[in-house]
Amino acid sequence: MPEAPPPDAESNVCLARLYEMDAALERMEVELPEDVRAVGAEARRRVHDCLERLGTGTDPDLRALTEAVHEISRMMDALTARLLLVPWDGHPRTGPLKS
């Protein structure tokens, strides 16, 4: 079985970004409301797919990976926006607001 070619600078940058995304999604997971947990899980699955493709050298075309990373970024933006719409403790507040 042929070995994967050594990573170049672009691959290293892409790998670093993917690892950052995975770490951010992992931290986000515990805070996500139930209605978007599946989106978070799908985003992490896509990150892991990209890491595997890049790590094994099976996808030398970084354009496809770049598109995948952009799509994951859009998913993360949506998750972040959703997190900002819920109270920090993750439970909807009832009753009057304290001033």
Angle (nearest 5°) at CA 69 between 64 and 72:
130
| Number of helical H runs and strand E runs in the chain | 3, 0
Enter the tokens of residue 19.
Answer: 């690892």
Helix (H) or strand (E) holding 77: helix 62-84
pLDDT per position as a tens digit, 26-81: 999 988 888 899 999 999 999 999 998 887 776 567 788 888 899 999 999 999 99
**pLDDT, position 61:** 72
**pLDDT, position 6:** 53
Q: Compute the Cα dihedral for 5, 13, 21, 64 and give only its sign.
A: negative
Mean pLDDT of the chain: 81
CA dist 52 and 30 (Å) reads 24
Whole-model pTM over 0.75: no
How far lies 7's CA from each of 40, 57, 94, in Å? 28, 8, 53
